[in-house]
Structure formats: structure tokens, C-alpha cells
Chains A and B, each alone.
Chain A
Amino acid sequence: MWRIFGGLFLGWSLGANHCANIFGTAVASGLLRFSQALWLTAAYVVLGAVVEGTKCVSTYAKLAYVHADTAFILTSSTAVTMTALTRAGVPASTSQALVGAILGWSLLNSSPDFSQLTKIVICWTLTPLSALIASSLLHRGLEKLVTVQIKSFSARNRFYFVAVLVTGCYAAYSLGANSVANVTGVYVTSGLLDLRLGALIGGLSIASGVLTYSGRVMMTVGKGIVPLDPFSAMVVVFAEAATLHLFTQVAVPVSSSQAVVGAVVGIGFVKGLQTINKRVVLKIGLGWVLTPICAGMLTLGLHSLFLLVGADSLQSFFAKAFAFIGQLNLR
């Protein structure tokens, strides 16, 4: 059971990295206080994980068979990759990191199901595109509606507050529903956790990351790409949430980071291309390419080490490692 700590670590880093995609724009544009954003996100992430989180778990089961020990290594490698990217202030994709890790592990002794991989990669490509299109259309459509229907300062003020709050909660729900498979999905497929328990534990671990370590990426997403007004912030969050919810229904865990970046760039398209900070977009794009490669290389390295020392389980690997350290004359 201790092996699930790898998943808990991954959930924590996922929450820390992805909270920005929920209320990052709202906090950066001043609609919500940081603490309010954290608690709302945490609550709705857990709700989403418990209610709809089980849908995406089966996709990982089809991609490759994983043993409980392997699940620990995969989630730990993914978490290390995600934490490094979070430290660098880059919004990265946990699903990409995990799939990269699964592929890295599978390369040495089994081959992954590439039909599933194709489906996943197509969804990764469609995620930012869908969010971009959704945010552009919503911005154009809703802008007229809001400016015509809601005129006075105080009424519009209230509308923005309520709208951003509601869409943010929806986005947190969608994040929980879509991303919990990344955290505990491999443990469910390895038989270590029950489906419902996996969803609950995954949701709670994501919430812990949200509450403890999410400020840095929040500001990168909120302020780095395009300066957002309250209306655009609301549209971005809604487009992201709808995209995630859509992919949850087709049972593919996708990246909320890619969705939010796509949505923010969509706003940039509406407001004029000169408003987009291309350097930040390139930095984020580089993160997307590096994420699966880093996680894949890390797990490939670990698997090679496993094979090199002739370990058949984590226990035997640790026993051999400790025995080796004991033989060293450290004095």
C-alpha cells in the first residue's frame, strides 16, 4: 500500500501546477483573492474526481499493463518531472508526463498499445485547438450579449464576480474529473486500489497540491501571455472547463494547461495578435515537448537500472541497493 505515495506525490504536484488553470486568470485580474481561489478549487476538484473521475481511468489500462511496483515508479517519475517544471514556472501536462513515463518503461520489456497512443496524441493536439476556438467564439458571442444586456457599473461588477466564480468552480470540477486518472489510474489498473477509492484519494491529493504550492504557475498563466480583463478571464476559464469536460466524456485524460493556454491565446486572437507574448507561448510550448520526453527518459533510466541490478520487484531492488551501499567503505 505504501506504493500509492508515488501517486499522492504526483497528485500534489498536479494540483500545484494546474490550479493556475482554474482561477489563475481570475486571481491575476483581481477578481478573486488567492486564498478564496485555493479553497474553491480544492473543494470542486475533489467533487469532480469522486463524481466523474472514474471515466478516464480505463484509458491508461488499455495503454499498457502495469504492475503495482511499476505504478509507483511511473507516478514518482512523473511527479519529479512535474515538480521540476512547476519550479521553473512552466505550466506542464501531467497526462503527457505520465504517458511519456509509461512509454519509457514499456520500451525495454513490452510494447505499448499504439492505437490507444494515437487516440491520446490526437486528443492532446485537439485540446489547445478546441479551447482556442471555444474562447474566441465565446468572447465574440458573449461580449455583445453582456455589453447590451448588462449596462450599469454595479450590475456588471456583480455579474463578473458571480460568472467567474461559477465558471471557476466548473473548471475545478472538470479538472478533478479529467485528471484524477493521471494520479491513481495506474494503481487502479494494477489492482492496488478500488476504482472509487482511487478517485477519492486522487482528488484529495490534487487538492493538497492546490492548497500548498500553486502560486508560481498561477502568475505565469494569469499575467504572462495576454493581460486579461474580467470578461476575458471568465471566457478563458469557461472554455477550458468545457474542453476538459468534453474530453472526460470520451475518456481521455488531457492537459488542462494546454486547454487554458489555448483559450488565453484565443482571447489574444480576438484582441489582436500583437497582444500575445510570443516568448511566453514558446516557453510553454517547449514545456509541452519536454514534458513527455523528460518523464520518458527518467523512467527508461530507472528501468535500465532495474534490469542492470537484476531486480524483479521494488523490495529486491531496494535490498540490493542497500546491500551495495553497505559494502562501500564510506569511512
Chain B
Amino acid sequence: MFKKWMRGDRKEEAALTAMHEHLRLLCSANGVLADLIHQGEKSRAETIYDLEREGDMARRHALSIIFEGAFLPYIRPNLCRFVELVDQAFDTVEDTARYFERINLHDSTAEECRTITSLNKEMCEILSIAFQRAVQGQDIREQVLAIRILEKRVDDLKAEIYQKIHSLPVSEFWQGKFYADFLESLTTFSDLIEDASDALYVLTVSFR
């Protein structure tokens, strides 16, 4: 116990730094994904896979510090839930890139997909800002609200896309499957970011 007194906040700071690094890597991967989809440079997918691996390391580091005893046990489950949600979002970015490598964006849905990518990127950056504000004890209601609004726009675009692809011909089973999976992972990302922002908000409220 005296060790804990002497050690001070170092563990907590290290855990927060690792969590922030995890988020930063997610934002970078999202930026690369946006370039990938906007410019169609499929060679950039490798960068996303590398960033995902780095993200996994950051997640493992953050979780190991938390389980070593950083923060009161009372808030550890909420912290871990946030980290896990960010990681799931990271996985969907990787999946989106993988599927994008195997498909050709159809002209009728390309614009919506690019807009969703931009919205995803924006949501990720807002989540990163919300995290920084939360750990400093500032209010994050505005950021959470902004993420919700953007998520609603992604949902609307998703509905539009599904309306359009209904009438598109499918030449081959796997092409259709990969296209459907691509759209699914592209639109799931916003849900996960919204869940992560909610978890962050719960975290700030529970720690008051």
C-alpha cells in the first residue's frame, strides 16, 4: 500500500497515455482509409494493417496497466469497455480496407461511401478530443452529441445505399458477398464510435 502512495499517479498516467495512443492510431488508420477510398490507391491498405497491429499493441499495453492496478477497481470495467470498443472499431477499419481491396466501388453508391468515410474520420477525431477532455475532467457532452448527430447521418446514408444496391445486378457470388461485407463494416464503424463515446461519458459520470 505504501508503494502505491510513493508511486503516485504514474500507473494511471501510463494507462491513459496508452489509451490515447490507441485512439491516435485509430484516427491515423481512418485517415488512410479515407484516402484509400477517395483516391482508390489500394496499395495504401498495407499501412492500415500495420497501424492495426500497432493499435493491438497499444490496447494490450493499456489493458495490462489497468489490470496491474491502475485506477480504482470501481472504474476499471468502464475503462476496459472503452478500450475494447475502440479496438472493435479498429478491427472494422481493417476489415473495410480488406474488403475494399477485393471490390470495385459501384458508381451509384461511390459518393455515399466516400461521404461515410469522411464522416467516420470526423467522428474518430471528435472521439479523440472527447477523450482528452474527459481525462482532464472537462465536460464532453458537446462531443458526445456531435458524434450522435454524425452517426445519424451515417445511418441515413446507409439506408440510401441499401435502397440503391437493391436493384444492382450481381455478376458473381463472392463479389456480391464482399461488397455487402464492405458496406457492413464501413457503416458499423460509426456505431462503435458512438458506443465508445457513450462509454466515455458513463466513465466521466461514474468518476464524479
Interface residues of A (CB under 8 A from B): 29-31, 36, 143, 146-147, 150-158, 160-161, 229-231
| Chain B residue with Cβ nearest A147 | B208
Q: Which partner residue on chain A sits nearest B77 by CB separation?
A: A30
Min CB–CB distance A163 → chain B (angstroms): 11
User: Are A151 and B137 closer than 8 Å at their CB atoms?
Assistant: yes
Known: A153-B12, A154-B13. A31 touches B208 (CB 8 A): no
Q: Which residues of A contact B137 (CB under 8 A)?
A: 147, 150-153, 155-156
Given A143-B208, A147-B208, A154 and B9 contact (CB-CB distance below 8 Å): yes
Give the docked Cα–Cα distance between A158 and B137 (Å).
14
* B:124-171 near A, CB below 8 Å: 134-138
Contact: B16 with A153, CB < 8 Å?
Answer: yes
CB distance B72 to A154 under 8 Å? no
Question: Contact between A30 and B72 (Cβ–Cβ < 8 Å)?
Answer: yes
Per the bound structure, the CA–CA distance linking A150 and B208 in Å amounts to 10
Give the residue name and chain of the A residue nearest to B4 (CB). Answer: A161
Residues of A within 8 A of B76 (CB): 30
Cβ-based interface call for B49 (8 A): no
Q: Which residues of B contact A (CB under 8 A)?
A: 1, 4, 8-9, 12-13, 16, 71-76, 134-138, 206-208
Per DSSP, chain A at the interface is helix
Check B74–A151 contact: CB distance below 8 A: no
- Picked from A30, A36, A156, the residue with its CB within 8 Å of the CB of B207 is A156
Pick the most buried of B135, B136, B208: most chain A CB atoms within 10 A of its CB: B208
A229: chain B residues within 8 A (beta carbon): 74, 206, 208
- In the complex, what residue of chain A is closest to B11 when comparing beta carbons? A154
For residue B75, which residues in chain A have a CB less than 8 angstroms away from its CB?
Answer: 157
Q: For the complex, give the distance between the alpha carbons of A152 and B4 in Å.
A: 18
* B74 contacts across to A, CB distance below 8 A: 29-31, 229-230
Jot down 7 A-B pairs with beta carbons below 8 A, ordered by A: A143-B208, A152-B135, A153-B71, A155-B9, A157-B12, A160-B72, A230-B72
Chain A residues near B16 (CB-CB < 8 A)? 153-154
Q: Are A158 and B8 in contact (CB under 8 A)?
A: yes
Contact A31 B12 (CB under 8 A): no
Asked if residues A157 and B208 are in contact (CB atoms below 8 Å), the reply is no
Q: Which residues of A contact B73 (CB under 8 A)?
A: 30-31
Residue among A31, A151, A231 making CB contact with B136, cutoff 8 Å: A151
Distance in Å from the Cβ of A232 to the closest Cβ of chain B? 10
Instruction: Provide the residues of chain A in CB contact with B8, threshold 8 Å.
Output: 158
In the bound complex, how far is the Cα of B8 from the Cα of A152, in angstroms?
Answer: 14
Nearest neighbor of B14 in chain A, beta-carbon distance: A154
B43: shortest Cβ distance to chain A, in Å? 40
Give every chain B residue within 8 A of A160 (Cβ-Cβ).
Answer: 72
Shortest C-beta distance, B136 to chain A (Å), equals 5
List of 6 A-B pairs having minimum Cβ-Cβ separation, nearest first: A151-B137, A30-B73, A154-B12, A30-B74, A154-B9, A153-B135
A249 to B91, CA, bound (A): 63
- Residues of B within 8 Å of A231, CB to CB, are 208
Instruction: Report B-chain residues with C-beta under 8 Å of the C-beta of A30.
Output: 72-74, 76
Give the chain A neighbours of B71 by CB distance below 8 A. Answer: 153, 157
When distances are taken between beta carbons in the complex, the residues of chain B under 8 Å from A146 are 208
Contacts of A151 in B (CB 8 A): 136-138
Q: How far is the CA of A154 from the CA of B20 in the complex (A)?
A: 14
Cα separation A29 to B75 with both chains bound (whole Å): 9
Question: Which A residues are in CB contact (< 8 Å) with B72?
Answer: 30-31, 157, 160-161, 230
Contact A158 B9 (CB under 8 A): yes
- Contact assessment for A153 and B207 in the assembled complex, using a CB-CB cutoff below 8 Å: yes
Contact assessment for B208 and A152 in the assembled complex, using a CB-CB cutoff below 8 Å: no
Whole-angstrom CA separation of A151 from B137 in the bound complex: 4
Given contacts A30-B73, A152-B136, A157-B207, 17 further A-B contacts (CB under 8 A): A30-B74, A31-B73, A36-B1, A151-B137, A151-B138, A153-B12, A153-B207, A154-B16, A155-B9, A155-B137, A157-B9, A157-B12, A157-B72, A158-B12, A160-B72, A229-B208, A231-B208
* Chain A: minimal CB distance from B139 (Å): 10
CA distance A156 to B9 in the complex (A): 10
Q: How far is the CA of A168 from the CA of B206 in the complex (A)?
A: 21
* Separation of A229 and B71 alpha carbons in the complex (Å): 14
Residues of B with C-beta under 8 A to A154 = 9, 12-13, 16, 135
